[in-house]
Chains A and B, each alone.
Chain A
Amino acid sequence: MFSKPDSALVIVGHGSTLNPDSSGPTWGHADAIAQLGAFGEVHCAFWKEEPSLRQVLHCVNKREIYVVPNFISEGYFTQTVIPRELGLDGPQTNVAGRTVKYCAPVGSHERMTDLLLKRAAAVAPGVSPKETSLFIVGHGTGLNDNSAVAAKREVERIRALGIFGEVIAAYMEEAPFIAKWDELSTQPNVVVVPFFIADGLHSYEDIPVLLGIASTSPGAASATGAGVFAQNPYRLRGRTLFYANSIGTEEGFAEVILDQVAAFDAAAA
């Protein structure tokens, strides 16, 4: 474990003006890293919450600042919004006398595969992977984001390991649609892992409705939605279905954040 007492870490999340749980995982990872004492300071910043990207650098005492996006994929936010709002012009930028080092987002780290496997095993204990169809569910729209690409990449990696009967990428808003999970899969057991950075409207409500394990309840984008994870397994459409929390709630994300800092240093060396 490296130690950077003279550096600050800023973890950037999306945040939400509607969902009180959206920023929770980002704060949790920050708390875990602060407890490790790996950095002199650890901060969070958000697009939709405060501290905002326009405020956070005023809160940092250190002159060297690593910024790690807590995002699933490279895309609009990591390539356009975060650099623009922080005033970055490349991997390393001098911003008002500070050196800001912009790292890759957590979701692009190869360790994501292990975290998905861990999450899938935890949600369906004792279930034979060979008799299981594993779904990695992304958003999949024209959001100028590469979340669908990231989900496909993880599916290919997990598929190559030969652990599961089948591994399938599916999406909320583009084909293959997660709503057709029973047509897309053949195994008796189905494990569904949302490939999102936080639990919220999508994991609490949208995907459960598409899966057929919950009915629409407008405005339920809150902790009350967490009940959907407590009712595993679901028996429907002739299968046994296990529904997991969003992958971003996995504790191992804190280590991935540190790995992305180490990767930045390695690339710069």
Chain B
Amino acid sequence: MMDTNAALADWLDKGGRQIGQITIAKSADGWELRHIDDVGREDLCLYTITADARQLANLDDAGAYRALKTAPNLRHGWRLVLPDVATVHSALDAFYPAMIGVQLARERGELTPVNLRDTLARQTGMYRVTQKLTDEQAQSLIADSCRCDGGCLKIILWRISEELPVNSLPAEKFTVRGQNEWPLLCHEACNILVAGARKVVKGEPKEG
């Protein structure tokens, strides 16, 4: 049986301090999480329970819904102080759902990236039409939806197809950074990208 708390504790012991837009620091009361842009700020709102993380993660600075939690629009102005690694794990699961488990699966060699064509081939119902997405449309859609500046912070592990890599984003989009940063990994196109593919194929506007 896995113990994801122990794995997270090990990473923190070795100096792990960043996940996405969150920085983690040891504090007198345990661990403190805050937005990486808020390091040094003294005027932050204090939160102390993991349930707060879900609320903090749900809306951006303007109060808009963050359907994609790995979008680079985490709200500012808070700090979350938690007593132990288990509660830090719960909070990180709220801020960045599944990202602890997915990375640990990768470390165990159990994470299998799924290429976009396979993801689209599996779709049924209203999303079956996404199988008509052309390679050019896929490259453009991915460049627009998955870019780190405004789209998604995850590192892409999949290709469009076995023969065709994603070549419409810079190399860092596909590269896991240093040990001190917990990687946000995308091993398969998300439903938001699949829904975006449907709009492209049907010629619908991006928003709405």
Contact = CB atoms under 8 A, between A and B. Distances in A.
Interface string A30-63: 0100000000000000011111101110111111
Contacts of A91: none
A63 B1 CA distance: 7
B65 A222 contact: yes
B12 interface: no
B122 A55 contact: no
B4 A48 contact: no
A76 B65 contact: no
B102 A55 contact: yes
B117 to A, nearest CB: 15
A48 B67 contact: yes
Contacts, number: 71
B125 A17 contact: no
Interface in A199-232: 222
A58 B125 contact: no
A268 B25 CA distance: 48
Interface residues of B, number: 33
A144 interface: yes
A58 B67 contact: no
Interface stretch (B14-22, B51-59, B160-168, B174-182): B51-59
Interface in A71-94: 76, 80-81, 84
Nearest to B111: A58
B94 to A, nearest CB: 9
Contact of A84 (B4, B70, B110, B124): B124
A51 B94 CA distance: 9
A27 B67 CA distance: 15
Contact of A50 (B59, B65, B98, B125): B98
Nearest to A53: B191
A96 interface: yes
B44 interface: no
Given A20-B58, A58-B105, A50 B97 contact: yes
B115 to A, nearest CB: 13
A81 B51 contact: no
Given A55-B98, A59-B4, A31 B51 contact: yes
B98 A52 contact: yes
A50 to B, nearest CB: 4
A96 B101 CA distance: 15
The A interface is mostly helix, strand or loop, or mixed, namely loop
A236 interface: no
B104 interface: yes
A19 interface: yes
Interface residues of A, number: 29
B104 A55 contact: no
B2 interface: yes
Contacts of A61: 1-4
Interface in B78-135: 93, 97-98, 100-102, 104-105, 110-111, 114, 122, 124-125
B144 interface: no
Contacts of B192: 17
Contacts of A96: 110
B38 interface: no
A84 B51 CA distance: 31
B1 A47 contact: no
A146 interface: no
28 contacts: A17-B67, A17-B192, A18-B67, A19-B65, A20-B59, A48-B67, A49-B67, A50-B68, A50-B190, A51-B98, A51-B101, A54-B114, A54-B187, A58-B98, A58-B105, A58-B110, A58-B111, A59-B4, A59-B101, A60-B101, A61-B1, A61-B2, A61-B4, A62-B1, A76-B125, A81-B124, A84-B124, A144-B125
Interface of A: 16-20, 27, 31, 47-52, 54-56, 58-63, 76, 80-81, 84, 96, 144, 222
Given A17-B195, A50-B190, A59-B4, 9 more contacts: A19-B65, A52-B191, A58-B98, A58-B105, A61-B1, A61-B2, A61-B3, A63-B1, A96-B110
